[in-house]
Structure 1
């Protein structure tokens, strides 16, 4: 790594962001690194990268304010030494490199100490590039929705075809038994997030991933804590488009106008795809069964093949189309693609059947945006057309608990028969004028004829469901967090009730 002179701090108590940005190293030279320390190791992406580097042979340590399952279990399995809290002593003796998570602030004592001591620091996405992407063809899967599933499926299609790709996923892949696969071949499939990289690296993470190929699943407003409007979100994706060259390729979903606008700016060849309409790569003749979704794929007027996928919902057909498009471009045959689809086991917390209580089914899903809620519940309705479906949602993300989607959120539960809402996460820490009006959401749902209730406590939701559930119901729980352990609590309470009968 090129030596970087640390800023002169003088008597200041805190390091400001401008100084930290100036301190960020230009590039990591992996051959010079032995010991890497993570500040904020328990985040999904940070923990995954820690596991990759440990598995690659580096000494890895990490600290975080709280380290909980499932990441704590993963870090333990990788034999990564972790420390609770942030303390300069965690960096003594000094590591060769510090990777700073994007949740860390300038006041973090480990960040301050690293800068004061001249210990090289970098961001998570920059480290991913420098350690794993520099000499490979990067396939970046980006977009507001569907990128985790599309990344996992694309990676698995390449793996199933024998290409031995690197894979980095923002979720837990059942096929890879985790969130990553170390690369052996020339391709690396990576989930590209538009969130910022670090306090000294204020660019979207995907900017660092140097895409050869890219998929743009969707562009909608999200991440209200760092973006003020859709134009700012589009500006982030426009930067990704600049990184594609005429020798690369982009696949963009035809269902999202903002995505199509962004795609017009790239120099790379562009292929539109969707499960409806007339894009260049499209699915037609979609057929449902209890086990899979079957469809025919056409590229322009030429039929490519018939495929079947284990993932339900029209949006998942679109996700499959994106992965199929990438695989075809890499000369993977339709027969090999179907083998990958047949053996794809999915992602944890994506339409995942959490438990069965007799005939009753509890499903866990990560949906936290109105569009994701709408398409996920519609997919569950497709899969279970003759059952009563409960939609239980926790407004937890920085966008969902704000009033930006005040009017749109009540329209997202069309496929649900009953709707229960939890209280928005950390509501008391938000400015009142920004808060989602949960009572108005419930009233709007009732005006649509929905049976809808909101509860401030998880245990109240559990009691309500337990009292009113029927043996054939489907309980769809949607949150991007733990939702107070509601999945286990509901399952145990329903098991007790129906066993007593």
Structure 2
């Protein structure tokens, strides 16, 4: 299907962060965009205010007239998280509509463009957002499809006037193999999505296949230590080809020097805390310099990057309380988040509210989760967020809690969390997880601001 011939698009699961970015892109092109999602959220409400018609009823009768019959100019985009028995999904299948996954549509859009694709089991949203921001802020420009809401632009899609596109390449169900990038980045290859891949070796094989999708004259960047050959390596405080050096904390900012085999930039200021984010920024700098952007412009862009919503996002920051929200849902992500908190606030007691994401992930990484969560000072576990999965016998938050070697720990409800925070007035609070834990943000914010 050619992009220029698409006049109508229907999104099944339009409220997803990646799906909503595509919906906004097509709406900007003047295409008729409609969609379905299971629940109304702030994001779907924003899409509705932008003129996109959304239904929350999984019935073919809820479809707009424009999508009842099949037409050559109509595209249906669906997320793998949609149940196979979805009535809307099966309506389009039975009518032989053209159905594509989000990744396939990104392949259609990026075809013929200069594509910068960021892949990795974690770090890809922040890295792709930093890359896109540097290109925008310096005037180089780009279009970008991101897996989070960037704070600088308050959006997950950016529109550019040139032929450059930045995409977050998702490894889930090998989606990223629809892309053929000019610049590719692999941030991490930790075991994840084992419900899809079976074991880590299969996951790693998919990343090798992704690296093989690189165009003939393309550039491949991988985090130092990953088992990928013929690549430019990067990392913070290392011997990589592109590296951050002299890393230090000044106030609430991380300051570092950048160097590669040809250039050096001194005293870069980064608002995003954590060594892992310094690493993410390092590869973004390397790409920008490779594209010919001046070091001075890059330095300025890095300094004014405000981050991504739900990626170490400060919700409350005053003399009495600090409340940070983060999307981390893998043990390595949790460890990086905790490490950043300890570097910034070594003397403060850390109260963590964590919502495990997926029964299979909780089962597969229970020991790793337990090891990281045991380093908190006070821990509250919410019930596991199932997302696309059905429950697994014996796998629940109590199963995880029993493995955690921490005295102050409990499984509790969201209501208990709000009351507990109001009563105990903790000085450093972290909500963390990829499910619906973000519904706690406003209540906790209000609670802490009235302490």
TM-score using structure 2 length: 0.92
In 1, the alpha carbon distance for the partners of 2:399 and 2:88 equals 42
SS in 1 for 2:195: coil
The aligned runs of 1:249-398 (5 Å cut-off) are 249-254=219-224, 257=225, 260-261=226-227, 263-264=228-229, 269-300=230-261, 303-356=264-317, 359-398=320-359
Asked if the contact 1:55–1:78 (Cα under 8 Å) also holds between the matched residues in 2, the reply is: no
In 2, the alpha carbon distance for the partners of 1:311 and 1:365 equals 12
Alignment-derived partner of residue 69 in structure 1: 41
In 2, the alpha carbon distance for the partners of 1:244 and 1:359 equals 50
In 2, the alpha carbon distance for the partners of 1:356 and 1:41 equals 33
Alignment-derived partner of residue 19 in structure 2: 46
- The superposition leaves residues 25-71 of structure 1 with CA deviations (integer Å, 9 ceiling, x where unpaired) of xxx112322111122222221111011100111011112232x2222
Cα distance, 1:291 vs. partner? 3.9
In 2, the alpha carbon distance for the partners of 1:86 and 1:126 equals 24
Q: 1:135–1:366: structure 2 CA closer, same or farther, 3 Å change rule?
A: same
SS in 2 for 1:139: strand
Range moving further from structure 2, 68-77 or 409-418: 409-418
- RMSD value over aligned CA atoms? 2.3
Asked if the contact 1:442–1:452 (Cα under 8 Å) also holds between the matched residues in 2, the reply is: no
Range moving further from structure 2, 482-491 or 185-194: 482-491
Asked if the contact 1:406–1:437 (Cα under 8 Å) also holds between the matched residues in 2, the reply is: no
Asked if the contact 1:292–1:312 (Cα under 8 Å) also holds between the matched residues in 2, the reply is: yes
In 1, the alpha carbon distance for the partners of 2:6 and 2:44 equals 25
Asked if the contact 1:172–1:178 (Cα under 8 Å) also holds between the matched residues in 2, the reply is: yes
Asked if the contact 1:397–1:480 (Cα under 8 Å) also holds between the matched residues in 2, the reply is: no
In 1, the alpha carbon distance for the partners of 2:170 and 2:438 equals 26
Range moving further from structure 2, 30-39 or 53-62: 30-39
In 1, the alpha carbon distance for the partners of 2:137 and 2:422 equals 42
Q: Provide structure 1 residue ranges, at least 5 long, that are not aligned to the other structure.
A: 1-27, 197-203
Cα distance, 1:107 vs. partner? 2.8
Asked if the contact 1:142–1:215 (Cα under 8 Å) also holds between the matched residues in 2, the reply is: yes
Range moving further from structure 2, 48-57 or 104-113: 104-113
1:488 aligns with 2:442: yes
Q: Provide structure 2 residue ranges, at least 5 long, that are not aligned to the other structure.
A: none
SS in 2 for 1:279: coil
Alignment-derived partner of residue 162 in structure 1: 139
**Which of 138, 143, 160 is 2:115 aligned to?**
138
Cα distance, 1:209 vs. partner? 2.1
The aligned runs of 1:144-293 (5 Å cut-off) are 144-196=121-173, 204-254=174-224, 257=225, 260-261=226-227, 263-264=228-229, 269-293=230-254
In 1, the alpha carbon distance for the partners of 2:441 and 2:12 equals 30
Asked if the contact 2:381–2:401 (Cα under 8 Å) also holds between the matched residues in 1, the reply is: no
Alignment-derived partner of residue 476 in structure 1: 430
- The superposition leaves residues 74-133 of structure 1 with CA deviations (integer Å, 9 ceiling, x where unpaired) of 211320111122333413254522222222344332333323333222222212222x21
Number of equivalences: 444
Alignment-derived partner of residue 35 in structure 1: 8
SS in 2 for 1:118: coil
In 1, the alpha carbon distance for the partners of 2:84 and 2:160 equals 34
In 2, the alpha carbon distance for the partners of 1:414 and 1:293 equals 26
- The superposition leaves residues 142-180 of structure 1 with CA deviations (integer Å, 9 ceiling, x where unpaired) of 101111110100001111121220111000011222001
Cα distance, 1:476 vs. partner? 0.9
Asked if the contact 1:252–1:271 (Cα under 8 Å) also holds between the matched residues in 2, the reply is: yes
Asked if the contact 1:225–1:398 (Cα under 8 Å) also holds between the matched residues in 2, the reply is: no
TM-score using structure 1 length: 0.83
Q: After TM superposition, what 4+ stretches of structure 1 lie above 6 angstroms from structure 2?
A: none
Alignment-derived partner of residue 53 in structure 2: 81
Asked if the contact 2:355–2:437 (Cα under 8 Å) also holds between the matched residues in 1, the reply is: yes
In 1, the alpha carbon distance for the partners of 2:396 and 2:41 equals 29
The structure whose Rg is larger is 1
- The superposition leaves residues 203-252 of structure 1 with CA deviations (integer Å, 9 ceiling, x where unpaired) of x2211121111111111111233222111211221220110134111111
The aligned runs of 1:434-453 (5 Å cut-off) are 435=395, 438-439=398-399, 441-442=401-402, 444-446=404-406, 451-453=407-409
In 2, the alpha carbon distance for the partners of 1:276 and 1:374 equals 18
In 2, the alpha carbon distance for the partners of 1:475 and 1:33 equals 47
Asked if the contact 1:410–1:445 (Cα under 8 Å) also holds between the matched residues in 2, the reply is: yes
Cα distance, 1:357 vs. partner? 6.4
SS in 1 for 2:190: coil
Alignment-derived partner of residue 120 in structure 1: 98
